[in-house]
Amino acid sequence: MSLDRTDVEKIAHLARLNIAEQDIQEYAENLSNILDLVDQMQAVDTQDITPMAHPMDAIQRLRLDEVTEGNQRDHLQTVAPAVEAGLFQVPKVIE
Amino acid sequence: MLDKTLAELAQGLATGEFSSVELTQHYLDRINAEDGTLNSFITVTPEQALAQAEAADQLRAAGSAGTFTGLPIAHKDIFCTQGVRTSCGSKMLDNFVSPYNATVVEHFNQAGAVSLGKTNMDEFAMGSSNESSFYGPARNPWNTDCVPGGSSGGSAAAIAGGLTPGATGSDTGGSIRQPAALCGITGLKPTYGRVSRYGMIAYASSLDQGGPMARTAEDNAMMLNVMAGFDPKDSTSLDRPVPDYTLTLNDSLKGLKIGLPKEFFSGEIDPQITTQVQNAIREFEALGATVQEVSLPNTHLAIPAYYIIAPAEASSNLSRFDGVRYGYRCEDPTDLEDMYKRSRGEGFGEEVKRRIMVGTYALSEGFYDAYYKKALQIRRLIQQDYVNALSEVDIIMGPTTPHPAFKLGEKNADPISMYMEDIFTISLNLAGMPGISVPCGFANQLPVGLQMIGNYFAEERLLNAAHQFQQATDWHKQTPGQ
Amino acid sequence: MEWEAVIGLEIHAQLATKSKIFSGASTAFGAEPNTQACAVDLALPGTLPVFNGEALRMAVLFGLAIDAEIGYTSVFDRKNYFYPDLPKGYQTSQLFHPIVGTGYVDITLDDGTIKRVGVTRAHLEEDAGKSLHEEFPNMTGIDLNRAGTPLLEIVSEPDMRSAEEAVAYVKKIHAIVTNLGICDGNMAEGSFRCDCNVSVRYKGEEEFGNRTESKNINSFRFIEKAIKGEIIRQIDILEDGGHITQETRLYDANKDETRSMRSKEEANDYRYFPCPDLLPIVIDDDYVNQVRATLPELPDARKARFLEQYKLSDYDAMVLSAYRDLSHYFETVANTAGDAKLAANWVMGELSKLLNQNDTDIKDSPVSAEQLGGLLLRIKDNTITGKIAKQVFEAMWAGEGSADEVIESKGLKQVTDSGAIESMVDDVIAANQPQVDQYVNAEPDKRGKMIGFFMGKVMQASQGKANPGQVQGLLKQKLDALADG
């Protein structure tokens, strides 16, 4: 599996990563090498194997419906890059 | 004091040989003196440490000290620590002072431990050499031209260098065991779900597991006693009673069945490592264990499966770093897209971006079945291998790594060669079982690690076997020459 | 050739849990920005979700109410995309294994026929926060209070063929979720929102046309208008030889039109995969049966019972059975007054009128069902006339007391004293000679209608208190005597 510049640009956009123009080629090569590595998997017949998403077949525990968290806005917003009137600020979103 | 274990230090505190403040000051001085070279800490918290030590001494004076009261440790910078920068080795979180404590940190605080600071690590735990850290690589105390391993390289280097007697680590593909092996210390990756992941910044959620790192198996047992346990804040945490891991350390190994997977003793592996591991196995035989060959036939598929599953989960886990609520935001974004792309492009390092892109690709439309689903199927095959092997034997043994510590920069240019260093550790994370690395000799004056693998929740047996080995050998007592 | 619309709906119902789906923060509406967003809701590094069991119970209850397959193993997946009000960079949802599988609801069309609409699935997911674009000149403000509120997304089959059918379906789902008590149904606050997928094709064609999706419409009326408008827009384009672009559109209620949303992402690729921070939800028959035991009476069953038990008209039974609170109110009035038809008229008439005028929920009605029943009893026993009853009801609404107290204090008791009525009748006949003459000269079969004039005058003179039956009888007797005399 080999990725070209367009593939890298598309993936970088999906992942919202700015990649410098001069680095694209190297990413393309690195990613292609990784995909070559993982392609070993394709040789294995896994048709009847149930995918294993978690190490153990444990099941989800249910939480009681209780409000346990109060207002922590000031505390939690101390690490925010930009806040005004209690709202996180981002560049204007145009819909 | 340099080679003192947590158990010995606990004894010293209990008998009044020294106070926690004195002990803490000793380690802070060591950090001051040595860490300019080792770079094993990202953040040192002397004031907080001394305050905790003072509180611990008072507690002891009042007669209410526990085993861990006043013992200094360090936390890998992947664990959130309230009021202290939690960077995860990344520029992205260079300015992130966590507003809350990870459950593991909370447990140590409650046990009265003293936190010296936060240890260096590969960025977001992605790496096997510590070189992907935004704060520069930690160095191996045995040879400072060499890497300490990763991702918990800072923790391993700090312990081996005598800057802390113990530290927390996290292990997604070998990140506790591999640096433990490369630095000549003991490190345990517990069963998935044994230690809470709450507050441990996620790399790959279904593989990540926090664990202890220290000089000895006994110290690991003491730390695991504090770390392990059910956490209602973590859905993947398992609600099972936690034994006192120190109580079974001295059980006899008579009749212990050891399995040697042939796949762990073939291929590209340093012959000196094979020799040291085989010597260690003979030691176990002398202790009453029996040895047989087992097979883990899908071992060669572990790295391919891992490099789909881990990046896929990571690509999603790291989406929250978007410059909106915390963390790095680029200068003067022109619009929202620009803010996202530059904040993430500038905030993440190369290896992190690489893995995010691999994961994004693997999950993208049209590739899910061929990559992600396939990898999850392979994962089951690998788990089945372990289940089968562990139905025949109690503990699987082999080398932790194929090579001893390599030179800084040696494997940087070729990510794949770096990935291959995790060949013996990575499959265990896919299976979710526990594993421990203990020092078992040297190759080219660099430490060699013996990996021991047990069934789900077999931590007691692993620590017992490791402890018995350490009672019979002194590899773990070696310290790097000054 | 005749056009036909094909409509499928996605309804997002906010589940009425106290805390969020994956955190212990409150879901209450209307708090100050970000005061109900905890570390988990903000997706702080290292935080993890834990699933709220009440959201599960509510989803299963809904599944049982629409006779759907229940997912005994359901799995949360991550839907990955970037948006500032989506803190984790993914929405936790259920794509591959939803909690509720295929089910159906029956809707009643205008001509009285019943149509079955398929429900493809219903799955649990978390709501996003809110982006506030108007507050600041160059910035958008993000409020994450709503982030993590549990949603049940109910996806229909493309079974509807007109805006009216679509609205009937939405109303039906609305009635079910509110009856179950799993959603407050408040559309203005966004607790119940609808995405409408619309396409058109020639009648008889098998293939669907390209569809558009109009998002987040939050009133029954807007749903109807948006769909109608979209159908016309699409037909116009196709008849002009154009092509329908598959796209997301936004309904602008002010302009009553949908417009294309500037595409946020050229091609959405959500990269769904099972959420590794959550484990599969596994339930068994015991669990399902326990939930089933709590299933309340639903509108369809209640309507059938109302038809049978109270002999209501089909329309009255449908209206009164739709909502639990309304149904309960009606039944209490009917049982207190011992007259279901009268109760139905009053609940759907005077009561509904005042509730609407005052924008009051029936739960908060200032006149209780027992009180209204008491009022109707006074109509039945001829203490007051129906007309006076409306006056009494308004006084009761204003808090002036029970029916009896108002009747007493205002002296509204009906006059049944035949002497008093007779004298009023005589006065009216004497004072309106021209009308009496007309009556006398009219054909006998026209006289019945003309008596209304005198009725009005007498009732006016009695301030509405005269017993109308007695007045009518006397007037007829006296006027006919004049005519025959």
Mutate to test the interface with A, among C142, C249, C261, C270 (most CBs of A within 10 A): C142
Is B151 catalytic? The answer is: yes
Average pLDDT over residues C454-467: 85
* Beta-carbon separation of B197 and C271 below 8 A: no
Q: How many CB atoms lie within 10 A of CB B110?
A: 11
**B/C interface, count of CB pairs below 8 Å:** 103
Q: What is the pLDDT of residue C174?
A: 96
* Beta-carbon separation of C280 and A59 below 8 A: yes
Q: What is the pLDDT of residue C134?
A: 86
* Beta-carbon separation of A56 and B193 below 8 A: yes
> Which structure tokens are listed for B92?
């992205």
Q: Which residue has the higher pLDDT, B416 or B13?
A: B13
Average pLDDT over residues C325-351: 94
pLDDT at B181 over 50: yes
* Beta-carbon separation of A91 and B338 below 8 A: yes
- How many angstroms separate the CA of residue B43 from the nearest CA in chain A? 18
Alpha carbon distance C44, B73 (integer Å): 25
Alpha carbon distance C39, C35 (integer Å): 11
Alpha carbon distance C439, C472 (integer Å): 15
Q: Is B91 within 8 Å of B210 (Cβ atoms)?
A: no
- How many angstroms separate the CA of residue A92 from the nearest CA in chain C? 4
Q: What angle do CA A14, A20, A24 make, to 5 degrees?
A: 70
Task: Give Cβ neighbours of residue B228 (< 8 Å, ≥ 6 apart).
Answer: B190, B194, B195, B242, B245, B459
Among residues of chain C, what percentage have pLDDT more than 90? 67
pLDDT digits (tens, 9 = 90+) for B283-331: 999 999 999 999 999 999 999 999 999 999 999 999 999 999 999 999 9
pLDDT at C327 over 80: yes
pLDDT-derived band at B453 (thresholds 50, 70, 90) equals very high
Is B76 catalytic? The answer is: yes
Q: What is the pLDDT of residue C265?
A: 46
pLDDT digits (tens, 9 = 90+) for C276-291: 999 999 999 999 999 9
Mutate to test the interface with B, among A56, A57, A62, A77 (most CBs of B within 10 A): A56
pLDDT digits (tens, 9 = 90+) for C248-273: 888 888 888 888 875 544 567 999 99
Mutate to test the interface with A, among B94, B307, B325 (most CBs of A within 10 A): B325
pLDDT digits (tens, 9 = 90+) for B215-261: 999 999 999 999 999 999 999 999 999 999 999 999 999 999 999 99
Q: Is C219 within 8 Å of C189 (Cβ atoms)?
A: no
ipTM of the complex in this document: 0.97
Q: What is the pLDDT of residue C4?
A: 94
> Which structure tokens are listed for C447?
């006289």
Q: Out of C50, C51, C88, name the one closest to residue B320 (CB).
A: C88
Chains contacting A (3 or more CB pairs within 8 Å):
B, C
A15: CATH: 1.10.20
Q: Out of C46, C84, C273, name the one closest to residue B102 (CB).
A: C46
- How many angstroms separate the CA of residue B325 from the nearest CA in chain A? 5
Q: Is B322 within 8 Å of A16 (Cβ atoms)?
A: yes
Q: What is the pLDDT of residue C485?
A: 67
Pick the CATH number of B1-474 from 3.40.50.2300, 3.50.50.60, 3.40.309.10, 3.90.1300.10: 3.90.1300.10
Q: Which residue has the higher pLDDT, C457 or B129?
A: B129
Q: What is the pLDDT of residue B300?
A: 93
Alpha carbon distance B177, B40 (integer Å): 17
For C270, nearest residue in chain B (alpha carbons): B364
Answer whether C43 touches B (CB < 8 Å).
yes
- How many angstroms separate the CA of residue C61 from the nearest CA in chain A? 16
Among residues of chain B, what percentage have pLDDT more than 90? 96
Spatial CA neighbour of C13 closest among C168, C149, C191, C157: C191
Q: What is the pLDDT of residue C480?
A: 85
Alpha carbon distance B177, B451 (integer Å): 8
Q: What is the pLDDT of residue C472?
A: 86
Among the listed residues B20, B90, B132, B151, the single catalytic one is B151
Segments making up each domain of chain C, as ranges: 3-290, 299-410, 418-484
Beta strands in A1-95 (DSSP E): 83-84, 87-91
State whether residue B187 is helix, strand or coil: strand
Chains contacting C (3 or more CB pairs within 8 Å):
A, B
How far apart, in Å, are the Cα atoms of B463 and each of B220, B457, B477? 8, 11, 17
Does domain C418-484 match CATH 1.10.10.410? Answer: yes
In a domain, A19, yes or no: yes
pLDDT digits (tens, 9 = 90+) for B49-88: 999 999 999 999 999 999 999 999 999 999 999 999 999 9
In which residue are the tokens 């020459």 written? B481
pLDDT digits (tens, 9 = 90+) for C168-181: 999 999 999 999 99
Among the listed residues B40, B76, B129, B152, the single catalytic one is B76
Is B252 catalytic? The answer is: no
pLDDT-derived band at C110 (thresholds 50, 70, 90) equals confident
For chain A, the domain total comes to: 1
Which residue range forms the structural domain that includes residue A36?
Answer: 5-42
pLDDT at C462 over 50: yes
In a domain, A37, yes or no: yes
For C82, nearest residue in chain A (alpha carbons): A16
pLDDT digits (tens, 9 = 90+) for B324-355: 999 999 999 999 999 999 999 999 999 999 99
For residue B151, give the amino acid letter. S
Beta strands at B290-294 and B257-261: parallel, antiparallel or unpaired = parallel
Segments making up each domain of chain B, as ranges: 1-474
Sheet (strand C77-80) strand order: C90-93, C77-80, C273-274
Q: What is the pLDDT of residue C440?
A: 86
